[in-house]
Amino acid sequence: MFHPTVFDNIKIAFENQIYDYDNLDGILTVTDRADLLNLALMSREFSLSFKLAGSRNVTSQVVLLSSVKELGDEILEMPGSDPGCVLVLRFYMEIQNVNGQCAAAQQILNSVWGPDFQPVQSLSYRYGQEGDTYNNCIELKFNRQITEEQMEDIPNLLKFLLQSAEELEDIY
């Protein structure tokens, strides 16, 4: 009989909550979903991207990652292991004022998530693109594995994620 992994259970918990926000509450719109299995590395990656209702500039993304070690430890029931997965939150937005808007984004995310999370901002642009517009990918990576014990925290985590997206939208 199939027994879902911790990765599957956490993935479903995120999906349920985010799709409820989309279909029932109408506070966001899911824009992309990916559920990938990398056969070369035997790893899994799940991502769900969305925009707040009425948002024009910020796309938020929840990413779960699980390596062959985590999956193997769980399936083989290795003693002393604590199966889980890695959680990464991303925000994508276009900016024009690199110094001002990046500093504002850093301040917003530090105020919402606290000093334990250090947002990493990666800027890119398309060669030959008119104007001075940059694509900013802001990443918040959790320093520890997420396990089934933290599943009750998902609604609060998503509240912080939505608050972050709303405040980042105000940078414009």
Return the pLDDT at 2.
60
Q: Mean of the per-residue pLDDT values for the chain?
A: 92
- Distance from C-alpha of 30 to C-alpha of 60, rounded to nearest angstrom: 9
Q: What integer is the mean pLDDT of 81-108?
A: 93
Task: Compute the distance between CA of residue 102 and CA of residue 95 in angstroms, rounded to an integer.
Answer: 8
pLDDT confidence bin for 1, thresholds 50/70/90: very low
Tell me the per-residue pLDDT of 105-128, one tens digit each, with 9 for 90 and over: 999 999 999 988 899 999 998 888
